[in-house]
């Protein structure tokens, strides 16, 4: 099995390079449009440079593939859209041929989704953003608890611009009498600047932004651009798959590169949420597997996602040996 990245100015140009080098049997693992160029990651079972003869009619008949069928059935049960089902099951059955189904699924997911867990010592303060009800406040409490390095603990901050009680909720979750809070965007900008000056990193519980409201999302984009922070989308696994995809794309356009997927313990079908993140080309950082503040967020990996799909049990969502 050979894998290679092809780069072109357009998707058509990159695809032409794929077909010219790998032929018609090439499997497209991922496509990324970045900085005016298109990157396509592809794989093929044959060696590069081999001449590709046109298949005979008899060879074109569909062949039943048990692994592909198993993966597709699993993903469809989880409500994943057809395009996602096809790409993951196709890549998993080819690149994971001969493996157990759960490992083949891991391989298929790795070809379509990137994983980038948050570091206990982030380079920038973290600004958690998302739509109402996504679980931002709980995620901030979990990150401040789980990712804090003893030498450089993350400081939790509530951006309680509308005095909605966000500060009190965050303090209660962290079992503290109070937490640092900002009552306006200017106040928050100053807190981030002061923290940078003393080498401190913050994890900020930002007010909710409505992805259907252009003015609200403009405020989100402006807030991100005015501070030296990394915006991280917090997205709930609950909701209609198409709504989740739309929301993920809107926040990606606002500047988010990574996402924390929450409330995976509150749903049975997780395919729509995973496919939405893939479609928006976001990297998955952490997975919200339980409501517990301590231990409730796990670093994301293809192995954990595959285990969630196959077993459905969040307490067993651990990476497989050699598969995560």
Give 179-208 pLDDT, tens digit per residue: 889 989 999 999 999 999 999 999 999 999
- Residue 263 three-state SS: coil
pTM exceeds 0.85: no
What does the alpha-carbon distance between residue 220 and residue 188 come to, in Å, rounded to a whole number? 13
Domain boundary among 41, 61, 81: 61
**Do 216 and 222 contact (CB within 8 A), yes or no?**
no
Mean pLDDT, rounded, for 292-303: 87
Q: What is the mean pLDDT of the chain?
A: 84
In a domain, 75, yes or no: no
Same domain, 52 and 199: no
Cβ-Cβ contacts under 8 Å for 228 (sequence gap 6 or more): 124, 125, 192, 193, 196
In a domain, 240, yes or no: yes
In a domain, 101, yes or no: no
**Do 131 and 247 contact (CB within 8 A), yes or no?**
yes
Same domain, 201 and 276: yes
**Do 120 and 147 contact (CB within 8 A), yes or no?**
yes
In a domain, 275, yes or no: yes
Same domain, 133 and 277: yes
Same domain, 33 and 160: no
The more confidently predicted of residues 57 and 167 is: 167
The total number of structural domains that make up the chain = 2
Same domain, 180 and 55: no
Same domain, 154 and 273: yes
Same domain, 191 and 286: yes
Task: Report CA 293 to chain centroid distance, whole Å.
Answer: 21
Q: Write out the residue range of the structural domain in which residue 51 sits.
A: 1-61
Q: What is the pLDDT of residues 156-175, one digit of tens each?
A: 999 988 777 778 888 888 87
Same domain, 56 and 141: no
**Is residue 27 over pLDDT 90?**
no
In a domain, 135, yes or no: yes
**Do 20 and 49 contact (CB within 8 A), yes or no?**
no
Same domain, 129 and 56: no
Q: Residue 254: what are its φ and ψ, rounded to 5°?
A: -80, -10
What does the alpha-carbon distance between residue 129 and residue 205 come to, in Å, rounded to a whole number? 7
DSSP-assigned beta bridge partners for residue 31 = 40
What does the alpha-carbon distance between residue 17 and residue 112 come to, in Å, rounded to a whole number? 20
Please calculate the CA angle 306-1-276 and round it to the nearest 5 degrees: 35
Task: Report CA 55 to chain centroid distance, whole Å.
Answer: 38
Same domain, 142 and 232: yes
Query: Any idea what the CATH number is for the domain that residue 195 is in?
Result: 3.40.50.300
């Amino acid at each position: 099995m050979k894998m290679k990245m092809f780069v072109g100015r357009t998707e058509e140009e990159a695809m032409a390079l794929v077909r010219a080098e790998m032929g018609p049997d090439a499997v497209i693992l991922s496509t990324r449009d970045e900085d005016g160029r298109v990157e396509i990651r592809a794989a093929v079972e044959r060696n590069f440079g081999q001449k590709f003869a046109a298949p005979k009619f008899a060879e074109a008949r569909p062949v039943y593939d048990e692994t592909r069928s198993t993966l597709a059935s699993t993903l469809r049960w989880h409500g994943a859209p057809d395009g996602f089902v096809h790409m993951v099951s196709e890549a998993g059955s080819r690149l994971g041929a001969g493996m157990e189904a759960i490992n083949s699924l891991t391989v298929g997911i790795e070809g379509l989704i990137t994983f980038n867990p948050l570091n206990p010592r982030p380079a920038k303060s973290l600004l958690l953003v998302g739509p109402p009800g996504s679980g931002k406040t709980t995620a901030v409490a979990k990150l401040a608890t789980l990712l804090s390095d003893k030498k450089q603990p993350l400081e939790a901050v509530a951006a309680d611009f509308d005095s909605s009680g966000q500060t009190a909720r965050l303090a209660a979750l962290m079992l503290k009498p109070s937490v640092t809070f900002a009552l306006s965007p200017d106040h928050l900008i100053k807190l981030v600047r002061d923290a940078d000056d003393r080498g401190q990193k913050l994890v900020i519980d930002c007010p909710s932004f409505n992805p259907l409201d252009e003015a609200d999302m403009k405020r989100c984009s402006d807030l991100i651009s005015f501070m030296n922070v990394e915006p991280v989308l917090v997205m709930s696994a609950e909701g209609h798959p198409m709504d989740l995809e739309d929301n993920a794309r809107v926040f990606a356009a606002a500047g988010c590169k990574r996402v924390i997927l929450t409330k995976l313990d509150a749903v049975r079908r997780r395919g729509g949420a995973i496919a939405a993140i893939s479609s928006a080309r976001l990297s998955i950082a952490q997975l919200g597997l339980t409501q517990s503040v301590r231990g409730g967020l796990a670093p994301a990996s293809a192995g954990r996602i595959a285990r969630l799909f196959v077993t459905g049990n969040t307490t067993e969502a651990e990476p497989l040996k050699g598969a995560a």
